[in-house]
Amino acid sequence: MSFKLGIRREDKNRWERRVPITPEHVKILKEKHGIETIIQPSKIRVFTDEEYKKAGATVSEDLSPANVVFAVKEIPIDFFKPGKTYVFFSHTIKGQKYNMPMLKKMMELGCNLIDYEKIVDEHGRRLVFFGRYAGLAGMVDTLWVFGQRLKWKGIENPFTQVKQTIYYTGLNEIKNHLKKVKEEIEKKGIPQDIAPIVVGFAGYGNVSKGAQEILDVLPVEEIKPDELENIHRGYSDNVIYKVVFKEEHMVKRVSNTTSFDLQEYYNNPRLYESVFHQYIPFLSILMNCIYWEEKYPRLFTKSFLKKNFSNKMKLQVVGDISVDINGAIEFTEKTTTPDNPVFVYDPVRDEIIDSYKGDGVAVVAVDNLPCELPRESSQSFSETLLRFIPDIVKADYSVDFENIDLPIEIKKALILLHGKLTSSYQYMSRFL
């Protein structure tokens, strides 16, 4: 039996140049596993059609001969074929309304759906992800906005040198450029009217680690959340202060107990309330890197910002990498794009303006940040996915769930089988 996989052309927007499988791995799959690849042609993809041809792939619009089709972003509903298997970020597990028609179509056609987001280990940690690159690009873009916003306020600062991620050739150029910014900070210091600069990271997963990786190129000193209160005593203007917030710092039990139980918080978040507002006055930049659903308390509400806002407010930018509309950051009113990455939320008027200028707090909310580093993010993603691909492509999807021969990590990510929600995803039926 011959095995073929398909790679769909990404076309959600002009910035989406990523791929789930690189030419290098296409070649490995063919030579070591006998798996042929069919890929749709693309003029914007970061790896060219010719690179895939040289790796042994067939470039064709028609992916129907493929056993399984891989993609990155959501797939249009007219693309699906009856009984086929699709692997992509479906963005359906929270019941996202805009993707329910797509899910319904897959169910009608008896399709199988594997979602990268649910490929996790025994501890629930994601194994196939772009998160680090979202963090990397998000931090660069946020530093750019920070520099431009301070400049607009008449404050000369070293961050005006930082460019948006899309204007660098890649990660090496970014880090080399930031090393020059580091030298300037160490030599000249940070202007007194904005010192000390404090960057807070809500969350500590892959996204947060990527964002911290960028900040750590600069002269950074890490402090603990409970040290923020005294940050103005004896600070250095030759460093940037970094603080990482975990759940135990961001919420407390509604009852007056001093204990914090992480598992209880996940299971019964209604028993907890946010206490994050206590840290906001000390932050210059806030990076939101947490997973959030409506059942969890918000980090930062509109009402708190309105009550506490003044033009002298220390906080200048929120890098909302998680990008949940009106979510953990309630005033994240919309997503942004690489060519228009920032808006300012005015808490007094409850309005936004597409700019880094204006009264309020600037918000960076680009919803596909990894596409700003398309080659490196694709290479990393493909490397983590590679070990699962042969089993995914060669599996017999005609059998029932119990008898399907897939690695447990992939089996747990199988949302639809024969067009029906598998047991772990029955809860999604209420969203349809």
The CATH architecture to which 3-110+374-423 belongs is 3-Layer(aba) Sandwich (3.40)
Residues 389-408: what's their mean pLDDT?
A: 97
Please state the domain extents for the chain.
Answer: 3-110+374-423, 131-372
Determine the pLDDT at residue 157. Answer: 95
Q: Say if residue 381's pLDDT is above 80.
A: yes
DSSP string, 65-93: T-SEEE-SS---TTS--TT-EEEE----T
DSSP 8-state class, residue 303 = H
* Whole-number Å distance between alpha carbons of 69 and 389: 11
Q: What is the pLDDT of residues 249-304, one digit of tens each?
A: 999 999 867 788 999 999 999 999 999 999 999 999 999 999 998 999 999 999 99
Determine the pLDDT at residue 2. Answer: 86
Q: Say if residue 335's pLDDT is above 80.
A: yes
Determine the pLDDT at residue 195. Answer: 93
CATH 1.20.120.420 fits 131-372, yes or no: no
* Whole-number Å distance between alpha carbons of 228 and 281: 9
Q: What is the pLDDT of residues 167-216, one digit of tens each?
A: 999 999 999 999 999 999 999 999 888 999 999 999 999 999 999 999 99
Mean of all residue pLDDT scores within the chain: 95
Determine the pLDDT at residue 337. Answer: 94
Confidence of residue 76 (pLDDT cuts 50, 70, 90): very high
Residues 229-249: what's their mean pLDDT?
A: 93
Determine the pLDDT at residue 110. Answer: 98
% of residues, the chain, pLDDT over 70: 99
Determine the pLDDT at residue 311. Answer: 79
pTM: 0.90
Do domains 3-110+374-423 and 131-372 share one topology? The answer is: yes
Q: What is the pLDDT of residues 127-158, one digit of tens each?
A: 999 999 999 999 999 999 999 999 999 999 99
Residues 32-55: what's their mean pLDDT?
A: 97
Confidence of residue 89 (pLDDT cuts 50, 70, 90): very high
Determine the pLDDT at residue 180. Answer: 97
